[in-house]
Amino acid sequence: MTTTLITGANKGIGRETARRLVAAGHTVYIGARDAERGRRAAEELGARFVLLDVTDDATVEAAAKTVEAAGGLDVLINNAGIETRTEDNSVPVAATVTGDQMRNTFETNVFGVVRVLHAFLPLLERSAAPVVVNVSSGLASLAHLSDPDHPAHFYPGIAYPTSKSAVNMLTVQYAKAFPGMRINSVEPGFTKTDLNGNTGTQTVEEAAEIIVRMAQVAPDGPTGGFFDINGPLPW
């Protein structure tokens, strides 16, 4: 039985990923910082709940102990993420973004990934087929955002794409450090979720497809890569 932990999984893409992996036979832990919502989601999906706030060392360490005591971990999906939005649902641009906004975004999107990896890597190293999926974004692609002919070029925000580019670098470096693991970044697509004020153009079902696929990658599959549903993406 494959045991999988998904951070930020009580709603949106994380919840749909959990649903799909439970259906695929995984024992799934829904990591959530809101205990009530997390427990409810776990009960509805036939998963397990573990309190986990990626910005808080204590809850991450406690979650690792809980999962370890129950038998260990095979797949880690770093899904929890935020995008800073103003009251009118716009994103802070180069002329307005503040250091505090950048710090807040990085605390969840980047430092949170490192915090969770640090706590769960010892468990993953004991697995026969360990997998890490870092949920990134197409907006992390320097190639796409610097290309005037690519749709992503017109996204004006600073904090979110910068944080996701950092996640991609984490993927590359951790994949080199742990060659026995399959560690990849994925781009789920512009999805209608609370993260973007429900302005996305695709469903959570569509978005979860690449995450579910890479969560089930074989031991001889790719590692250190960046993928969407159609294949590899440029950094």
Encode pLDDT of 54-107 as tens digits. 999 999 999 999 999 999 999 999 999 999 887 788 899 999 999 999 999 999
The pLDDT value recorded for residue 191 is: 61
The pLDDT value recorded for residue 194 is: 62
Is 65 noted as a catalytic residue in this protein? no
28 neighbors 47 (Cβ within 8 angstroms): yes
Average pLDDT over residues 37-57: 98
183 neighbors 174 (Cβ within 8 angstroms): yes
Token pair 């910068």: residue: 162
- Confirm whether pTM is higher than 0.85: yes
Residue 117: CA count within 13 A, CB half-sphere: 23
Is 29 noted as a catalytic residue in this protein? no
The pLDDT value recorded for residue 127 is: 98
The pLDDT value recorded for residue 200 is: 56
Catalytic-labelled residue, pool 29, 155, 160, 174:
160
Angle CA 20–124–230, to nearest 5: 45
Mean pLDDT of the chain: 94
pLDDT at 225 over 80: yes
- For 147-206, how does the pLDDT look when each residue is reduced to its tens digit (9 = 90+)? 999 999 999 999 999 999 999 999 999 999 999 999 999 999 876 666 665 665 578 888
Catalytic-labelled residue, pool 155, 164, 174, 192:
164
Neighbouring CB atoms inside 10 A of 104's CB total: 16
The pLDDT value recorded for residue 202 is: 78
CA-based max dimension of the chain? 51
Average pLDDT over residues 17-45: 98
The pLDDT value recorded for residue 195 is: 62
